[in-house]
Amino acid sequence: MITQQTIDKVFETARVEEVIGEFVQLKKAGSNFKGLSPFVDEKSPSFMVSPVKQIWKDFSTGKGGNAISFLMEHEHYSYPEAIRWLAKKYNIEIEETKQTDEQKKQMNERESMFLVSKFAKEYFHDVLLNTQQGRAIGLSYFKERGFREDIIEKFDLGYCKDEWDNFTKAALAKGYDLKYLKSTGLTIVKEGGATVKKFDRFKGRVMFPIHSMSGRILGFGGRILTNDKKAAKYLNSPESDIYHKSKILYGLYQAKKEIAKQDNCYLVEGYTDVISFHQSGIENVVASSGTALTPDQIRLVNRLTKNITVLFDGDAAGVRASLRGIDLILEQGMNVKVVAFPEGEDPDSFAKAHSTAELKEYLSEKSQDFIEFKVSLLMQEASNDPVKKAGLIRDIVTSISKIPDGIQREVYVQECARIMDISEQVLFSELAQLLSKSARNTSISTRKSSEVKEQQDQRGMALIKNERQTTPKIDTLFILEKEIIRILLLYGNKEIDFVDWIEVEDEKGRPKLEKEEYTSLIANEMYLNLQEDEIEFTNEVFKKIYFQLIHQLNQLEKISIDQLINNTDPEISSMVTTILMDEEKYTLSDWGRKEVTVTETVKILPKLVTDAILNLRRVLIELKIKGILEGIKTENVVPDLEEINNYTALKKRIFEKLNRVV
């Protein structure tokens, strides 16, 4: 196990904005950062990071926390793995205590699959570099492709020996469970009668490990080196709990920083295209790994940049097939450029045949707008055929109709009219028809959903009527208890002037309220008031948070929010993060720019604290009175009128303090 000293050092060193910045494109928003949610598809940013508080909050899903919780949510890390990832990022040496057999068993299914995949990557890489067969076959192949040793290391390239079960035997000997070798697809298991046959899926192939955005091994691509026509040239890991081909981009882990820095992503097709570009000094490049581009893959890039440059091989048939991906990119509201390589060339071969300067110059000079590219490509087929030309125009306008931004659509229509020498009016008319058709289809779909929902609502209403169900009431206690915790977290260490109303008697002996002013720490004021009334929180999470806050107050004479944010209890850290980031939520809407004035909470703190305490007292007294009255009804007890009168009088005095009328 990782020592507490190492964990403390990681927490002290890690910066939440730096960690999240590796996965999400963040933009400055006042003292915070904002960006698109990495958990759902959205057009407007609802994701916020606070460098001051060292926390994040995704308002679209409700998730939030610190740097550790982000890695656990986004990368599905366990707590120790998140600590290890941060330690590696910040060059912190990890000190460990020995892990027991019982702790090893507690690893869940996914973590076991990740561990097996990590071992496989290291094993294949070691075989490539340190075995006779690996160096003679695998390493020789990569050297022939022109890959340097530092690039081979960077992409963790490897080799699986051309033996039936070499890897499987090694993994089993190391104690890895066959169950996970099978579920990751590394080992193929065939059961026949009393015997179980096991053999390596990737035998005799050079290996391309596929990383997640954070560097975890999700799966593998393997290339065969023989001329066996019955075997696939490239073989990928099968779909599993950790490997989903449609949601992965090869090279994203190695490219993410450069993509964000250059504000552009080059999209290619194969593994070697990516690797050759890196060797040429161009690192903002990813590959769809031979699959048709998917919305999930595009969204991965969208987290880092709004700009994609699609690189096409010189093969015309392949280019036309890949054009469909452009429409998907446009639908995501991204900007698309296109670069086509000369006939017979692909990114890999072109990068090897040219210097870095020549490659960069070619990419810059040949980069075209997608309309210009489509026209130049398809006009060759249309030639002087008016029907084909009309079809081409419709094809381009269809692509433009995918763009969600109206202004951008209009600019593209004007550009298309100029290139195709056709009136804008005709193009706008065609665009309007396409948008109208799309809206109708959406409307029909929505109407069908609405009809289904209406039927469900009717059934629901009938159920409510039959069972005489009532609408659940608002949990007032939850709201008031949360408000007290919120005030303690945000302002507990502030010292302010308070006004209290003390009950005294006038000349005639009648009770009256007299004003008293004093200065106190907010946390102390709330603690003393709650202690005086012997108030306990009804919500278990609030109770735990309050206990820790008061413990800190008694020990340190102040509140330390960091201890709560970084708490090992996920309920505590999640609730604390939610409360802290709710305070920042309004900055997402940029009220200042919209000239909407937001009252500063600091200016009304004394009233806020007093009202929070008095309101909690008021509700608790109301519940006490209600309990007495219900006891009279159900148990036929003789009412204690004096007790009821005392509680009612107390409630009245609280209302007077709140400046309300009963």
Q: pLDDT digits over 82-91, tens only?
A: 898 999 999 9
What string of DSSP letters covers 544-569? HHHHHHHHHHHHHSS--HHHHHT-SS
CA 43 – CA 541 distance, rounded (Å):
34
At 662 the pLDDT is 37
Considering the chain, what percentage of its residues have pLDDT values greater than 70?
Answer: 83
Residue type for position 254: Q
Angle, helices 522-532 vs 476-491, to 10°: value is: 140
Can you tell me the mean pLDDT for 353-362? Answer: 95
Instruction: Give me the sign of the Cα torsion angle 546, 547, 552, 554.
Output: positive
- Tell me: pLDDT of 351 over 70: yes
pTM: 0.65
Q: What is the mean pLDDT of the chain?
A: 83
- Tell me: pLDDT of 162 over 90: yes
pLDDT grade, residue 79 (50/70/90)? confident
Is the CB of residue 271 less than 8 Å from the CB of residue 222?
no
Instruction: Give me the sign of the Cα torsion angle 576, 577, 578, 579.
Output: positive
pLDDT grade, residue 458 (50/70/90)? low
Considering the chain, what percentage of its residues have pLDDT values greater than 90?
Answer: 32
At 256 the pLDDT is 87
Element (H, E) at 456: helix 424-467
Higher pLDDT, 377 or 305: 305
pLDDT grade, residue 661 (50/70/90)? very low
CA 159 – CA 126 distance, rounded (Å):
8
Q: pLDDT digits over 500-531, tens only?
A: 767 777 777 777 777 778 888 888 888 888 88
Do 109-243 and 252-435 show the same overall fold?
A: no
CATH architecture of the domain covering 4-89: Alpha-Beta Complex (3.90)
Residue ranges per structural domain of the chain: 4-89, 109-243, 252-435, 476-585+598-657
N-terminal to C-terminal alpha carbon distance within the chain: 60
CA 500 – CA 89 distance, rounded (Å):
52
Q: pLDDT digits over 20-76, tens only?
A: 998 888 998 888 999 988 888 778 888 999 988 889 998 888 888 899 989 888 876
Instruction: For residue 72, give every residue at least 6 positions away whose Cβ sits within 8 Å of its Cβ, in sequence order, or none.
Output: 78, 79, 82
CATH architecture of the domain covering 109-243: Alpha-Beta Complex (3.90)
Q: pLDDT digits over 299-344, tens only?
A: 889 878 889 999 988 765 566 666 778 888 998 888 999 998 998 8
Instruction: For residue 614, give every residue at least 6 positions away whose Cβ sits within 8 Å of its Cβ, in sequence order, or none.
Output: 654, 657, 658
Q: pLDDT digits over 252-303, tens only?
A: 999 988 888 888 999 998 999 999 999 999 999 999 876 788 988 998 898 7
At 471 the pLDDT is 44
Q: How would you classify the pairing of strands 265-268 and 307-312?
A: parallel
Q: pLDDT digits over 126-139, tens only?
A: 999 999 999 999 99
- Tell me: pLDDT of 603 over 90: no
**Nearest one of 280, 330, 323, 289 to 308, comparing CA atoms:** 330
pLDDT grade, residue 464 (50/70/90)? very low
At 336 the pLDDT is 92
Lowest mean pLDDT segment, chosen from 10-19, 160-169, 468-477: 468-477
Higher pLDDT, 234 or 520: 234
- Tell me: pLDDT of 377 over 50: yes
- Tell me: pLDDT of 107 over 60: no
CATH class of 252-435: alpha beta
- Tell me: pLDDT of 534 over 60: yes
